[in-house]
Amino acid sequence: MQDGPTEDISETRAVAPRVLGLLGLLASLVALALGIGVWLGIFAGIIFAGAVLFDGMASLDALIDDFGRFDPLRLGSDIGAQRALFAGGVLIYLAAVASLVTIARLMGKGQAAGMLGWTGSWPAITRTGWLLIVCAAAYHIVAGAALRYFFPEFGLWLISPGDAMALILSFVMIVILAPLAEELLFRGWIFGSLRARFSAGVTILATAVLFAVVHMDPTGFYPVAVLAPGFILSVIRERTGSVKPAVLAHALYNGIGWLLLLFTTALFVR
């Protein structure tokens, strides 16, 4: 393996993954939505069986009650609402990952990893790549802070977890499952399929915009906050040929944001 030029984002390139055509991509996205519903049902069944086995459904009844009373306006003061939010997020992202892997295995004909962009070893990211990642993380943090300042209602979704359970669930959702699910979908499946038909520039821009659009929030401005990070992640995907560095980078700046939220809450909210 040879070192790449100093300006490269990655020092290696992975083997080009197998991809779907555009019609196959659209069909797979429909199947993905259906698969998420199926996997949510499976996970719900597992949770129900576990609750019955271990505590006679007492904890499950409490969680269901939290979901029934869920109100985003109470996130700052109601630990039950926080648990419901983060538990729901964990289940949805976990179902998304399971659905992506299932459909890739069914449609990939032995090349599921390639269709998801999960190919090759973990490419080493150069200093230029890390600089771009840091800049994207800084932009995301500053943009999020500006949204919270100008749109106080946006801040209701940036509440620090109030107990150990909410803390664990928020970490699993934000730092582990969200980066994995979103990168497998956007920089893996969608990016690979578009890149087989279009230029690098068109594919990078298209996936960054799609990534931003799905992060639409009540203010209508949060997609602007994630557009630059999405663009950088797409560039990393293009330059490495693998979704793995994008997953790592996404997890890192999600983790930075998560830690900053905990720190600022502990420091200023008493």
Q: DSSP states of the chain as a string?
A: -PPPPTT-SBS--PPPPP---HHHHHHHHHHHHHHHHHHHHHHHHHHHHHHHHHHTTHHHHHHHHHHHT--GGGTTT-HHHHHHHHHHHHHHHHHHHHHHHHHHHHHHTT-HHHHTT--SS-PPB-HHHHHHHHHHHHHHHHHHHHHHHH-HHHHTT-PPP-SHHHHHHHHIIIIIIHHHHHHIIIIIIIHHHHHTTS-HHHHHHHHHHHHHHTT--TTS-HHHHHHHHHHHHHHHHHHHSSSHHHHHHHHHHHHHHHHHHHHHHHHH--
Has residue 6 got a pLDDT over 60? no
Range of the domain at 242: 22-268
pLDDT at position 151: 74
Q: Is residue 99 part of a domain?
A: yes
Q: Is residue 32 part of a domain?
A: yes
Distance of CA 141 to the CA centre of its chain: 16
Mean pLDDT calculated for residue range 166-174: 91
Q: Is residue 14 part of a domain?
A: no
**Residue 214 maps to a domain:** yes
In the prediction, which pLDDT does 69 show? 62
Q: What pLDDT is stored for residue 70 in this prediction?
A: 60
Residue 15 is predicted with a pLDDT of 41
Enter the pTM of the model.
Answer: 0.83
**Where residue 114 falls among pLDDT bands split at 50, 70, 90?**
confident
Taking a C-beta distance cutoff of 8 angstroms, is the pair 148, 154 a contact? yes
pLDDT mean over 178-200? 92
Which has the higher per-residue pLDDT, 204 or 128?
204
Query: Per the domain annotation, does 236 fall within a domain?
Result: yes
pLDDT greater than 50 at residue 17? no
Query: Mean of the pLDDT values across residues 115-141?
Result: 80
Determine, yes or no, domain membership for 190.
yes
Total domain count, the chain:
1
Segment among 23-37, 60-74, 119-133, 184-198 with least mean pLDDT: 60-74
User: pLDDT at residue 67 above 90?
Assistant: no
* Average pLDDT value for residue range 184-206: 92
Q: Is there a domain that residue 113 lies in?
A: yes
What band does 247 get if pLDDT is binned at 50, 70 and 90? very high
The pLDDT assigned to 158 comes to 62
Q: Is residue 115 part of a domain?
A: yes
CA dist 150 and 146 (Å) reads 6
